[in-house]
């Protein structure tokens, strides 16, 4: 469908939802403050505008452009950015993300922070955004993790170990709500273990990495970093055991089990190359 028919759809839709008048109303007369209007526009142009599995196609971008022409909704800018994020074109994506945050900071600040942490590795920028998100929605979640989980990742990468430790402790506390019977996300345990490995705290590194493996036995990263932890204390046989487990896990397609890892590597995420290199170093 070309751009002209898409825009005609916009005006036909306006006749239904903009004050009940027919075509004579201009786009500016649409009541964008009305939830009934905006919900209907979102249904028309986003939910039904294009197949959700083909959002990178230009047709869906035209639907979104039509929606923005009627009402410049934050969700439309966010949706426009998604194919650019997945394609690695961050220069086009982030102005759209910025606009979404400008329009709805409470909804999209944490999402932009997530993108900075995981996709662009802008760790300082991510921390700043997550701190703002924490003010807007205290102890909130983004993409299945607390804000403090991501701040912990950022500080880990920045080697701000004390701050990272505080972040991961807060992350786990929010998840468990003080009940030791509640198990935190296995990747919270993984990254806490990696942090303690980096800090050369062997006891705590083993504690968290073993907890991670209890929850997700095929975690390549937990097996790998546990192998390196045992190497720190000179236990070569146990190191080899966990390296073999890491190799088998990666070879069989196991990953971090995060939704977006198909598009980018997470901090400290291992590859088969790294596992093979460590195995060869131990020969």
Query: Tens digit of pLDDT for each residue in 167-214?
Result: 999 999 999 997 878 899 999 999 999 999 999 999 999 999 999 999
CA distance 244 to 239: 9
Q: Where does the pLDDT of residue 42 fall: very low under 50, low under 70, confident under 90, or very high at 90 and above? A: confident
Domain count, the chain: 3
Identify the residue with better confidence: 113 or 4. Answer: 113
Domain annotation covers residue 189: no
Q: What is the DSSP letter of 256?
A: -
Query: Using only C-alpha atoms, what is the Rg of the chain?
Result: 23
Domain annotation covers residue 39: yes
Domain end, chosen from 103, 125, 151, is at 103
CA distance 73 to 77: 7
Domain end, chosen from 85, 103, 121, is at 103
Give the position of tokens 């996709």: 119
pTM of the model: 0.86
CA distance 18 to 31: 6
3-state secondary structure of 210: helix
Output the six-digit token pair for 211.
């907890």
| 231 touches 224 (CB < 8 A) | no
Backbone angles phi, psi at 17, to 5 degrees: -120, -10
Q: For 60-104, what is each residue's pLDDT tens digit? A: 888 888 889 888 999 999 999 998 998 999 999 999 999 999 999
- At a CB cut-off of 8 Å and minimum separation 6, what does 275 contact? 220, 224, 243, 246, 247, 250
| 210 and 135 share one domain | no
| 270 and 204 share one domain | yes
CA distance 224 to 241: 10
| 67 and 111 share one domain | no
| 67 touches 76 (CB < 8 A) | yes
| 67 and 93 share one domain | yes
| 17 touches 37 (CB < 8 A) | yes
Domain end, chosen from 88, 103, 118, is at 103
> What is the CATH number for 214?
1.25.40
Evaluate the CA torsion angle 166, 168, 171, 172 in order and state its sign: negative
Q: For 129-149, what is each residue's pLDDT tens digit? A: 999 999 999 999 999 999 999
Identify the residue with better confidence: 61 or 275. Answer: 275
The residue range of the domain holding 233 is 196-283
Domain annotation covers residue 47: yes
Output the six-digit token pair for 80.
């426009």
Domain annotation covers residue 190: no
Q: Using alpha carbons only, what angle is made at residue 277 by residues 276 and 282, rounded to the nearest 5 degrees?
A: 95
């Amino acid at each position: 469908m070309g751009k002209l028919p898409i825009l005609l759809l916009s005006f036909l839709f306006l006749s239904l939802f903009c004050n009940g008048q027919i075509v004579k109303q201009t786009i500016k007369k649409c009541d964008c403050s009305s939830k009934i209007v905006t919900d209907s526009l979102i249904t028309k142009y986003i939910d039904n505008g294009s197949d959700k599995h083909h959002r990178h196609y230009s047709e869906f971008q035209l639907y979104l452009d039509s929606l923005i022409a009627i009402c410049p909704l934050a969700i439309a800018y966010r949706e426009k950015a998604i194919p650019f994020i997945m394609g690695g074109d961050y220069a086009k994506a982030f102005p759209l993300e910025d606009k979404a945050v400008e329009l709805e900071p409470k909804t999209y600040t944490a999402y932009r922070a997530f993108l900075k942490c995981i996709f662009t590795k802008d760790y300082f920028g991510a921390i700043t955004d997550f701190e703002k998100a924490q003010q807007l929605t205290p102890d909130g979640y983004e993409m299945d993790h607390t804000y403090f989980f991501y701040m912990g990742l950022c500080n880990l990468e920045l080697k701000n170990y004390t701050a990272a430790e505080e972040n991961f402790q807060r992350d786990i506390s929010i998840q468990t709500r003080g009940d030791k019977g509640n198990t935190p996300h296995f990747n919270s345990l993984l990254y806490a273990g990696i942090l303690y490995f980096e800090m050369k705290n062997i006891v705590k590194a083993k504690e968290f990495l073993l907890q991670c493996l209890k929850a997700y036995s095929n975690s390549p990263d937990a097996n790998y970093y546990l192998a390196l932890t045992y190497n720190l204390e000179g236990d070569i046989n146990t190191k080899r055991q966990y390296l073999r487990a890491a190799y088998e896990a990666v070879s069989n397609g196991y990953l971090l089990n995060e939704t977006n890892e198909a598009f980018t590597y997470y901090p400290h995420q291992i590859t088969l190359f790294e596992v093979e290199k460590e195995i060869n170093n131990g020969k």
